[in-house]
């Protein structure tokens, strides 16, 4: 684990250095993009799809920045509030009030839960169930509601004590255990996964004394099955080494994703400076492509995509796209109906 901890610490320095070298406007863009990405991804892990633009608008509002007028659903506003809370208030000590406030945010707008903003109260066991409808399989049963005050008091006490124990509990082990132990207690009716992943961000931020800005949820969302299998492997025994190995690799991958995302944001600024003479249709479409992030449109940008975004004719779309290819802004692959276009960031 020592070598992974060294890589982790090195990556922290790279992220801090990259963020410090961004112009003020790009610093805000990078911060908001990472927070938006994490809000959308951590909800996607739970099967809840949030609109990226609505979440981003709400994050900007909570940060006191200029926003457009758009309707934001309650769950989107709640997740945006959680991300901004994590960013600005990471220094605050962990306590029950904070966790219950997070549960309010995560479950914002819900009407199907008996308890929001407090530990679960129901008498029936909290079970994580999988398998088919006819043959359900209980993977894990959390402590009963009657024990939650005691279990969570012990957890919060452990967290705040372990936070300062850097010698015996390195950063990665601390953050990994903070997440795993919380998930094992499963104190809320719903939202435990999102709050558990928020605790990863908080624990690392507190240890490094600045917002961590990891892409933890984004990396997990790309392979949810592996994440749940790693958690499930710790359900019935005390050996958590397999979880910590998984967690360590995932955190390092999330740091590398963040580093690449910051570079992508820098490239975006260079891109629009270099291609400042494009027309309004082309600019509108390219802005939309960049909004899709580093992965871009799934399968690439098509002529039909271009027509829809730019609200233009097939002939104009074809001409605009060819101009962008000729000037080097886009790269082209495929032929006829299979033709796709990709951002060309290689020679900025």
What pTM was computed for the model?
Answer: 0.90
Separation between Cα atoms, residue 177 and residue 105, nearest integer Å: 23
DSSP state of 130: E
Burial class (CB in 10 A: 0-12, 13-18, 19+), 58: buried
Classify 47 in phi/psi space as left (phi over 0), alpha (psi -120 to 50) or beta: left
CB 265 within 8 A of CB 33: yes
CATH no. of 2-263: 1.10.3290.10
Q: What does each of the 348 residues of the chain score in pLDDT, given as a tens digit?
A: 679 999 999 999 999 999 988 888 789 989 999 999 999 999 999 999 999 999 999 999 999 987 777 789 999 999 999 999 999 999 999 999 999 999 999 999 999 999 999 999 988 877 766 555 566 666 678 889 999 999 999 999 999 999 999 989 999 999 999 999 999 999 999 999 999 999 999 999 999 999 999 999 999 999 999 999 999 888 777 789 999 999 999 999 999 999 999 999 999 999 999 999 999 999 999 999 998 888 888 899 999 999 999 999 999 999 999 999 999 999 999 998 899 999 999 888
E strand or H helix at 138? strand 136-141
Q: How many helices (H) and strands (E) does the chain have?
A: 14, 4
Domain residue ranges in the chain: 2-263, 280-343
Phi, psi of 340 (to 5 degrees): -135, 155
- Of 21, 23, 24, whose CA–CA distance to 13 is shortest? 21
For domain 280-343, the CATH class is: mainly alpha
Separation between Cα atoms, residue 138 and residue 118, nearest integer Å: 25
- Of 207, 215, 261, 203, whose CA–CA distance to 86 is shortest? 203
Separation between Cα atoms, residue 136 and residue 127, nearest integer Å: 11
């Amino acid at each position: 684990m020592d070598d992974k901890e060294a890589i982790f610490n090195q990556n922290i320095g790279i992220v801090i250095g990259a963020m410090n070298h961004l112009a003020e406007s790009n610093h805000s863009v990078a911060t908001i993009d990472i927070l938006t990405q994490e809000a959308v991804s951590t909800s996607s892990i739970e099967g809840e799809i949030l609109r990226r633009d609505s979440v981003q608008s709400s994050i900007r509002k909570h940060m006191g920045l200029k926003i457009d007028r758009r309707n934001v659903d309650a769950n989107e506003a709640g997740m945006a509030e959680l991300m901004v809370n994590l960013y600005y208030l990471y220094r605050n000590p962990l306590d029950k009030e904070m966790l219950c406030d997070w549960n309010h945010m995560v479950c914002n707008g819900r009407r199907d839960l008996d308890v929001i903003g407090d530990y679960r109260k129901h008498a029936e066991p909290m079970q994580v169930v999988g398998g088919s409808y006819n043959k359900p399989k209980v993977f894990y049963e959390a402590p009963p509601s009657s024990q939650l005050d005691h279990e969570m008091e012990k957890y919060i006490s452990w967290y705040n004590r372990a936070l300062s124990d850097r010698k015996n509990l390195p950063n990665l082990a601390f953050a990994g255990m903070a997440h795993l132990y919380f998930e094992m207690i499963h104190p809320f009716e719903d939202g435990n996964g999102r709050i558990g992943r928020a605790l990863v961000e908080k624990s690392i931020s507190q240890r490094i004394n600045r917002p961590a800005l990891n892409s933890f949820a984004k990396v997990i969302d790309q392979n949810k099955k592996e994440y749940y299998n790693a958690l499930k492997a710790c359900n019935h025994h005390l050996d958590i080494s397999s979880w910590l190995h998984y967690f360590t690799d995932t955190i390092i991958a999330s740091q590398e994703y963040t580093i690449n995302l910051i570079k992508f944001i820098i490239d975006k600024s260079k891109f629009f400076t270099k291609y400042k003479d494009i027309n309004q249709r082309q600019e509108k479409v390219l802005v939309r492509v960049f909004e899709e992030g580093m992965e871009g449109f799934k399968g690439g940008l098509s002529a039909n995509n271009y027509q829809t975004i730019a609200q233009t004719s097939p002939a104009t779309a074809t001409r605009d796209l060819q101009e962008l290819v000729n000037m080097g802004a886009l790269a082209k692959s495929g032929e006829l109906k299979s033709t796709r276009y990709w951002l060309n960031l290689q020679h900025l």
